[in-house]
């Protein structure tokens, strides 16, 4: 039996891949770059899983957090490609901020948190432009006894 969280990750990836000009989208356990990655890249990773409301001791609202991380080469050039990066981020936000998620039948709503468009990263990662969005999918499920 497939997991609901797995269905949500896959459906999120599918929805992102429908955006014109989107970089490669990968599902990972954590939002980390590996040596084989080509940049630009969009990572879809699982975040927290929380319980929301409950009804009649059998129906539960679960909230699944999905982290969407956009990584592009920055090379410490702070004035180029600002507009195109913001347009990509806006396309991602608008595509994901929908009430239902095809491919994840139990999803009934969504909330979203965004990090700054150009997150400040310390250490060796400062050669990248990194932006994150946390999508919180609400799912109504039966409590299994």
User: Cα 86–87–92 angle (5° rounding)?
Assistant: 95
pLDDT recorded at residue 42: 96
Question: pLDDT tens, 23-67?
Answer: 999 999 999 989 899 999 999 999 999 998 887 778 899 999 999
User: pTM score, two decimals?
Assistant: 0.88
Question: pLDDT tens, 119-144?
Answer: 655 455 567 888 899 999 999 888 87
Question: pLDDT tens, 60-103?
Answer: 999 999 999 999 887 666 666 788 888 999 999 999 999 888 88
pLDDT recorded at residue 119: 67
**Strand 24-27's sheet: what is its strand order?**
24-27, 41-55, 59-73, 128-142, 107-114
User: Hey, where are the domains in the chain?
Assistant: 4-42+70-142
Q: Topology of 4-42+70-142 in CATH? A: STM4215-like (3.30.2000)
Give strand ranges (E) for 11-127.
24-27, 41-55, 59-73, 107-114
């Amino acid at each position: 039996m497939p997991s609901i969280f797995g269905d949500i990750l896959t459906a999120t990836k599918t929805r992102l891949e429908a955006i014109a000009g989107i970089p490669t989208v990968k599902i990972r356990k954590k939002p980390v770059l590996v040596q084989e990655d080509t940049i630009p890249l969009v990572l879809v990773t699982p975040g927290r899983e929380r319980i929301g409301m409950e009804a009649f001791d059998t129906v539960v609202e679960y909230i699944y957090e999905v982290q969407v991380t956009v990584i592009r080469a920055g090379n410490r050039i702070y004035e180029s490609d600002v507009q195109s990066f913001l347009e990509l981020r806006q396309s991602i936000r608008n595509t994901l901020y929908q009430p239902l998620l095809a491919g994840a039948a139990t999803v009934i709503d969504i909330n979203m948190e965004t990090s700054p468009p150009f997150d400040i990263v310390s250490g060796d990662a400062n050669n990248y432009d990194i932006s994150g969005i946390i999508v919180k999918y609400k799912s109504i499920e039966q409590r299994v006894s």
